[in-house]
Amino acid sequence: MISTSDSIIRLIVAIILGGLIGYEREARSQSAGLRTHILVCLGACLCMIISINIALDFYSVYGYTRSDPERIAAQVISGVGFLGAGTILANQKGHSVKGLTTAASIWGVAAVGLVVGAGYLVTAAAATVLIFIVLTVFVRLDKMMRKRGRHSYVLHLTMRNTVGQSRRLSEYLQHHQLALLSFRTLSGEEEENVELELTVHVGEELSQSELLSDLLGIKGIKQATVTEPKEQKEKD
C-alpha cells in the first residue's frame, strides 16, 4: 500500500508538473490554463493512487486480487477526452475551430498524472519537459515549416450556395494542394449566394494573380478577391 506521505509527495509533484504545462497554456490565453491543467494532473494522479491501493488492500486481506489498477487509468484517459473536447471552441457563426493543441495538452497532462500516481516520477518529469518543449519550441518550427516556400492568402469569395459549388471549390483546393488554414462563413447559410473567407497556404508556383484568375474561372463563383494576411504584409 502506498503510504500517506508518499501519496502526498506524488500529489505535490503532480501539481508542479501539471502547473508547468498549464502555465504555458495560460500565457497564450487559452481557455484551459493553469488551474485546469493542475486539476487534471492532480485528479489523474489521485485516481492512480487509489487504484493501486485498492488492489494492494484486496491482496493483503484475501491473498489474491481481482482488482485491475489499469481499469481506473483507462477511464481517466477516456474521460478526459470530454474535457479536451470542451476546449475545442467551434465558432458557429464563422465555422472556425481552435483549441486542438490545448485539448492534446490536457490529454497529455492526464497521462503525466497517472505516471506520477504510479510512482514513476522521473519518467513523468521527463514527459512534462518534452510536452513543454513541443508547446513552446515546436510552435516556431511549425510556423517555419508552413511558411517555407509558401505564401498565405486570404480569399474572399461570393458563390452559389449549393453542395455542388462547395465540391468544385474543394476539388480546386485539393488539385493545387492549397492548405486550408481557416474558414469562415460571412453571410447567412439560407441565402441563394454565400460569402466565404478562407485563409490558405499557396506554393511558390502559384502567384496571387494566377490564384485570382483561377478562382474567377470556377463555375458558380461570382466574386473573388485575394489578399495577403496583415502579419505577412508587415513581415514583407
Residues 153, 69 within the same domain:
no
pLDDT at 11: 96
Domain annotation covers residue 184: yes
Say if residue 231's pLDDT is above 70: no
- If asked whether residues 189 and 97 sit together in one domain, one would say no
Whole-number pLDDT of residue 20: 94
Q: What are phi and psi of 105, to 5 degrees?
A: -65, -35
Note down the domain range covering 190: 149-235
Using pLDDT thresholds of 50, 70 and 90, give the confidence band for residue 133.
very high
Q: Are residues 200 and 93 in the same domain?
A: no
**Comparing C-alpha atoms, which of 132, 135, 134, 138 is closest to residue 18?**
132
Segment 125-137 shows an average pLDDT of 94
Domain boundary among 136, 166, 199: 136
Same domain for 155 and 227, yes or no, is yes
Q: Above 80 in pLDDT, residue 151?
A: no
pLDDT of 70 reads 77
Which whole number is the average pLDDT over 25-42? Answer: 89
Predicted confidence (pLDDT) per residue in 191-227, tens digit: 788 888 988 887 666 788 888 898 999 988 999 999 8
The answer to whether residues 126 and 159 belong to one domain is no
Which of the pair, 108 or 89, is modelled with greater confidence? 108
Same domain, yes or no: 46 and 19: yes
Q: Which run of H or E residues covers position 8?
A: helix 4-27
What is the chain's mean pLDDT, rounded?
Answer: 83
Residue type, 179: A
* Domain contains 169: yes
Average pLDDT of the segment spanning 20-49 = 91
Q: Give the pLDDT score at 56.
A: 82
Q: What is the CATH number of the domain that holds 201?
A: 3.30.70.260
Reported as half-sphere exposure (CB side, CA atoms, 13 A), residue 15 has a value of: 6
pTM for the model = 0.61
pLDDT range class, residue 233, cuts 50, 70, 90: very low
Residue 98 has pLDDT above 80, yes or no: no
71, 164: one domain: no
Question: Mean of the pLDDT values across residues 38-66?
Answer: 82
What pLDDT, in 10s, does the model give residues 166-197? 888 888 888 888 888 888 888 766 678 888 89
Q: What is the DSSP string of 187-217?
A: S-TTSSEEEEEEEEEEETTS-HHHHHHHHHH
Whole-number pLDDT of residue 62 = 59
The answer on 218 and 170 residing in a single domain is: yes
172 belongs to a structural domain: yes
Per-residue pLDDT band at 105 (split at 50, 70, 90)? very high
Q: Please tell me the predicted confidence (pLDDT) of residue 86.
A: 75
pLDDT of residue 89: 61
The reply to whether 142 falls in a domain is no
Residue 83's contacts (CB-CB under 8 Å, 6 or more residues apart) are 32, 36, 40, 106
Looking at the structure, do residues 82 and 187 belong to the same domain, yes or no? Answer: no
Q: Choose the final residue of a domain: 112, 136, 160.
A: 136
206 falls within a domain: yes
The verdict on residue 178 lying in a domain is yes
Number of structural domains the chain divides into: 2
Q: What is the mean pLDDT of residues 12-40?
A: 91
Identify whether 144 is part of a domain.
no
Whether 175 and 201 map to the same domain: the answer is yes
Asked if 28 and 97 sit in the same domain, the reply is: yes
Is 143 domain-assigned?
no
Residue where a domain stops, chosen among 88, 112, 136: 136
Domain match, 79 and 189 both:
no
